Each structure stands twice: as structure tokens, then as C-alpha cells.
Amino acid sequence: MIKKTVKESQVIMTEMVLPQDTNAIGTIFGGKVMSLIDIAAAMAAGKHARSVVVTASIDALNFVAPVKLGEYVHIKASVNYAGRTSMEVGVRVDKENPLTGEMKHTASAYLTFVALDSDGKARQVPELVAESPEELRRMDSAKKRRASRIQLAADLKRDTSN
């Protein structure tokens, strides 16, 4: 099976917060940020798998700071871990003040995607190769989150079958 590095599938998107993206107090809708996160993550997973991918889960989405009308939003998505048919993608969102250039972290999320073949069935994805200590750390953390998601799914299945 092919191996790919984290850098081969990284995605960086930039958007300006426009009036239609904001709520009554002039900050970006959380749903808009979630949409941008899902798009960037899907692109990174799709580049890694070189196939159609679907979102299987979004977990640990944390909003850290508001983003105001007119500010720039930078979304960076990277594959943290690749299993047999699924991938975890980490996304970091930062805002930039267009007048000063000041950057600030605003949100982070972890998403899981499944790669699909032409029949809509799960297909194997390339192995992920970590090239730096930071990438290794992110991969190890992703493996722990994956184990937690698997345990939670088993717990939920057991609870609903009773």
C-alpha cells in the first residue's frame, strides 16, 4: 500500500468574515465555522485518500475566541492518523486582524472521515508517515482518541440493546 506524509494532504483555507456570516452581535456564526472546518477537513482527507470521503464524526470542537465581521479566518487541516479505511483530521482555526496582522487561535476540532470506492463502499487508505516529533505526537494522540471513539460506540451499542 502507498504511504503518504502529512504535508502531502495539508489544506490551508482563508476566508473573510462577511455580513451574511455574522450573528446579531457581529461575530461569525458557529455553524459557519463548523462548515468551513468540515470542508477543509474533507479536502485534506480526500487528498490523502485520493477518493471521495464522507464525514463519520466530529468530536472535540472547541470555540476559543470570537471572530468579528471583517476579520480573516485561516483554517488549517492535517491528517493526524490513517487507519484501514478511515482518517482522523485535525483542524485549527485562527483569526487575523486585517489592519494589524495580529493572529489569534479561535477554534480546534477533530473529524473522522471514511474513504469510499465508486460503489460507495469503504476502501483502504494510504498509510500515514509522520516526519517530525510534532507529527508523531499528533498521531499518538489520534490513536488514543480513536480508541476512545471505538469504546464509546461499543458502550452506546450495549446501552441501546438493553
Domains and CATH numbers, the chain: 3-161 (3.10.129.10)
Q: Provide the pairing of β-strand 52-63 with 11-16.
A: unpaired
Q: Who has greater pLDDT, 161 or 138?
A: 138
Q: Are 3 and 79 in contact (CB under 8 A)?
A: no
Instruction: For residue 161, name the pLDDT band (cuts at 50, 70, 90).
Output: confident
Within 10 A of 131 (CB to CB), how many other CB atoms are there? 10
User: Quick one: average pLDDT of 27-44?
Assistant: 98
More confident residue, 88 or 160: 88
| Among the ranges given (30-34, 102-106, 148-152), the one the predictor scored with the smallest mean pLDDT | 148-152
Q: In whole angstroms, what is the distance from residue 73 CA to residue 68 CA?
A: 10
| pLDDT band at residue 162 under the 50/70/90 scheme | low
Query: In the β-sheet with 52-63, what is the strand arrangement from edge to edge?
Result: 11-16, 72-82, 86-96, 103-116, 52-63
pLDDT at 65: 97
| Residue that the C-alpha cell 477554534 belongs to | 107
Mean pLDDT of the chain: 96
Q: What is the mean pLDDT of residues 122-151?
A: 95
Q: Which helix (H) or strand (E) holds 29?
A: none
Beta-ladder partners of 161: none
pLDDT digits (tens, 9 = 90+) for 57-111: 998 799 999 999 999 999 999 999 999 999 999 999 999 999 999 999 999 999 9
Q: Is the dihedral angle over the CA atoms 50, 52, 58, 63 positive or is it negative?
A: positive
User: Is residue 81 a contact partner of residue 57, using CB atoms and an 8 Å limit?
Assistant: no
Interval 15-20 mean pLDDT? 98
pLDDT for residue 158: 85
Reported pTM:
0.93
